[in-house]
Structure 1
Amino acid sequence: MIITSYFPPEIGAASNRIFHMAEGLKNDYDISIVTPLPNYPTGKIFKDYKGKFRSTTEENGIKINRLWIYASVSKNKFLRLFAMLSYSFSLIWFFMWNNIPDKVIVQSPPLLVSFTCMFFLRSKKRKLILNVSDLWPSAGLELGALKEGFSYKILKKLEAYNYNNADLILGQSNEILSHIKSITTKPELFLYRNFPQIEFPKLRETSSQNGKIKMVYAGLLGIAQGILKLCQELDYRTIEFHIYGSGAEEEAIKTFINSNKNLPIYFHGRVKRDDLHLALLKYDLTIIPLLNRIYGSVPSKIFEYAKLGLPMLYFGGGEGEDVIKTHQLGWIAKEGDYKHLNEVLSGIHLKDLNHGLKSSIQDIAKVQFNFEKQLEKLKQTL
């Protein structure tokens, strides 16, 4: 059983990661998913699920249990807490009335949800596997979403409880695993990168009618990504900027574009993942930004874009920066330094972004970011 707060048809790295893990494990295990009714990132229950208290379906050989949640993306911390509590209550009810298998993978964060699972499912007969994709509450503190105080101390205790009661912890970065080691040495640790399970597309030459680099961002338009500030700070003399996605900053980005029609910024909205992959092939360069460096974070876009053969400009610091450098996937700009970002951009030329570079990036991905090899190692550990 995999318990997660995000699952398709929701978009985003967390949703994709769990989906591919489930698909990869289903040949060796009977897989079931427990997840809320889909609502992310809009904060509203998706149209096909409105009015439902629960939905149980079987899709591609996987049983999917979708539970009630009070959906919200409100900035009001009490409403957001209630949203997390509502899913936790649904989980407790589900645990009471359903047989839980002897191996359970729990996605963390959200911290409160993962604590609910670790507390109510602990048993000597059951193996609890915690899949840690971000370090909460530390990441919340770095993003400015949390402040040190009583509630932060409580969250730190929940975090420590989760780690101490896991039999195995999967971490998506070495920084995450190092952080966990500083808290407990009880569970076994496994580096599980967010490698996507996608086809390697045939690469094609891109062309520019105006001599400018076609740079693209695709993904969530949230506070952490800082796309609005990026729009405001970029030097557009050598680039045009294309944006795909949806999220909290979407309306503000649209307003900025409409107020600055002289700037070559193009908003394409949210598109299906397969369609997005085809669209990305026509761009010269992608940017992967983080407004602030988040300890433990390695954006999954790195591995996805590498398989697409898309050169990257990384602007977020941390371990993600090391991955770009080590595997020669593109360029690095100092985190939070927009002057340096524009200097790096001015030094990139269309001739640099050629078919040879894209083929090289794709070849590296085939060897270094191999989903099947990583999955086989995980199966041996489970």
Structure 2
Amino acid sequence: MKKDVLIITSYFPPEIGAASNRIFQLAHGLQKNNFNVSVLTPLPNYPTGKIFDGYKGKFKHVSEEKNVTIYRLWIYASNSKNKLLRLIAMLSYSFSLVWFFMWNRIPKTVIVQSPPLLVAFTSMLFLRRKNRNLILNVSDLWPIAGLELGAFKRNFSYRILEKIERYNYKKASLVLGQSEEILAHVTSIFQEKPTFLYRNFPDFEAPSIKQTSSTGKLKIVYAGLLGIAQGIYNLCGQLDYSTIEFHIYGSGAEQTKIEDFISTHPELPIFFHGRVTREKLHSVLMNYDVTIIPLLNRIYGSVPSKIFEYARLGIPMLYFGGGEGEDIIKSHNLGWIANASDYDDLNKVISKIEVGNLSEEQKRTIQQTAVSQFDFNKQLLELVNGL
């Protein structure tokens, strides 16, 4: 007999980014493992802050996608830098969730994505009263990450967020964490809390490796969100372009600034390609020598899912973010490490990467490591056996 499970998330395709991909794979992975899966998510709006075409003017949208039922609820969409507007956006989705909980049957098992903290708090608060088995899937440590990014200060508001964070952990039957640091943080607060390391492993067929065509310069590519945490705008102004080309794919808060920088520096070999679908991105990434994974500042608990995705594609990585992600690159020999926030060291590392020394064999070894060590289905089966 199939088991019902509800996943509550703030991000889901057609939205882009690691968060939506992660929940999409979890939903369909559970469905393939004999679960009846439904997903609660806002009307798609991320990262533009505007409701996508086809969903505008709707209060609720329900669809069946590959045997998974998707409930898309109303949200006041905004990507404004104004903290009040961002708060209103989160509260609007929380309001929609409460309304849904009141009028719909909720399965016994519910997986809640965090962050956003307030959305997770709303789910944990209302569903705990209904005696549900609540599984909290923590992908980033908030409010700690916000503090490290400079978005928060240690004040009264921060202490409130800490209390919300602790409440969410306390009420969870099980905490899933995408990094060892996340799990260590949770158990430092609640020592007996059951936890499970759930990495953001991808689930797609590993493609054939191909040799990139040489232009004489090292072709470095970044693909993903163009947000403050990634620091791509700052990176554009810090790279030494004497031996490289820099290609950028994606969208986000810094996109306009990046485009303006490129237009005012036509002499630099920087190329912005915009946003493409994940499937197309996998294809185009194979044309580059090295992919860079930067973080503006080292964020405790954060492990970019790009590590596992690019490894499965067989693309060597240049990691520039510190923390647990750096340890994974080193231990699995997936590429090169530059000291976090040290642009001099980054350029020094890049200068030592020679195009002629990048081989198909190196890429194939990276891909084989990913297939054997970053197995989505094996990890999911371990999780399913515990549900």
TM-score tier after normalising by the smaller chain length: over 0.9
Return 5+ residue gaps in structure 1 as ranges: none
Q: 1:95 aligns with which of 81, 97, 101?
A: 101
Q: Which residue of 2 aligns with 1:242?
A: 247
Q: Which residue of 1 aligns with 2:74?
A: 68
Task: Find the aligned partners of 2:369 and 2:129 in 1 and give their Cα distance.
Answer: 42
Q: Which residue of 2 aligns with 1:51?
A: 57
Q: Which residue of 1 aligns with 2:336?
A: 331
Task: Find the aligned partners of 2:86 and 2:199 in 1 and give their Cα distance.
Answer: 28
CA displacement at 1:125 relative to structure 2: 4.1
Task: Find the aligned partners of 1:220 and 1:81 in 2 and give their Cα distance.
Answer: 21
CA displacement at 1:263 relative to structure 2: 0.4
Q: What one-letter code is carried by the residue in structure 2 that aligns with 1:230?
A: L
Kindly report the root-mean-square deviation, in angstroms, between the aligned alpha carbons of the 2 structures: 0.8
SS in 2 for 1:286: strand
Q: Which residue of 2 aligns with 1:373?
A: 378
Query: In 1, are the aligned partners of 2:321 and 2:341 still within 8 Å (CA)?
Result: yes
Deviations 1:202-223 (A, max 9, x none): 11111112x1011100000000
CA displacement at 1:123 relative to structure 2: 4.5
Task: Find the aligned partners of 1:353 and 1:123 in 2 and give their Cα distance.
Answer: 57
1:17 aligns with 2:22: yes
Q: 1:136 aligns with which of 134, 142, 146?
A: 142
Q: 1:321 aligns with which of 310, 326, 330?
A: 326
CA displacement at 1:186 relative to structure 2: 4.0
CA displacement at 1:347 relative to structure 2: 0.5
Q: 1:79 aligns with which of 85, 89, 108?
A: 85
Task: Find the aligned partners of 1:345 and 1:3 in 2 and give their Cα distance.
Answer: 41
1:113 aligns with 2:111: no
Bigger mean CA deviation after superposition, 14-23 or 351-360: 351-360
1:259 aligns with 2:277: no
SS in 2 for 1:202: coil
Query: In 2, are the aligned partners of 1:55 and 1:66 still within 8 Å (CA)?
Result: yes
Return 5+ residue gaps in structure 2 as ranges: 1-5
Query: In 1, are the aligned partners of 2:140 and 2:301 still within 8 Å (CA)?
Result: yes
Q: 1:202 aligns with which of 204, 208, 213?
A: 208
Query: In 2, are the aligned partners of 1:57 and 1:64 still within 8 Å (CA)?
Result: yes
Bigger mean CA deviation after superposition, 181-190 or 18-27: 181-190
Deviations 1:310-341 (A, max 9, x none): 00000000000000000000000000000000
Q: Following TM superposition, where does structure 1 have runs of at least 4 consecutive aligned residues deviating by more than 3 angstroms?
A: none
1:160 aligns with 2:196: no
1:148 aligns with 2:147: no
Q: What one-letter code is carried by the residue in structure 1 that aligns with 2:381?
A: E
Aligned-pair identity in percent equals 67
Q: What one-letter code is carried by the residue in structure 2 that aligns with 1:8?
A: P
Task: Find the aligned partners of 1:244 and 1:226 in 2 and give their Cα distance.
Answer: 14
Q: Which residue of 1 aligns with 2:224?
A: 219
Deviations 1:3-24 (A, max 9, x none): 0000000000000000000000
Alignment TM-score, normalising by the size of structure 2 = 0.98
Query: In 2, are the aligned partners of 1:285 and 1:353 still within 8 Å (CA)?
Result: no
Q: Which residue of 2 aligns with 1:30?
A: 36
Q: Which residue of 1 aligns with 2:3?
A: none
CA displacement at 1:41 relative to structure 2: 0.2
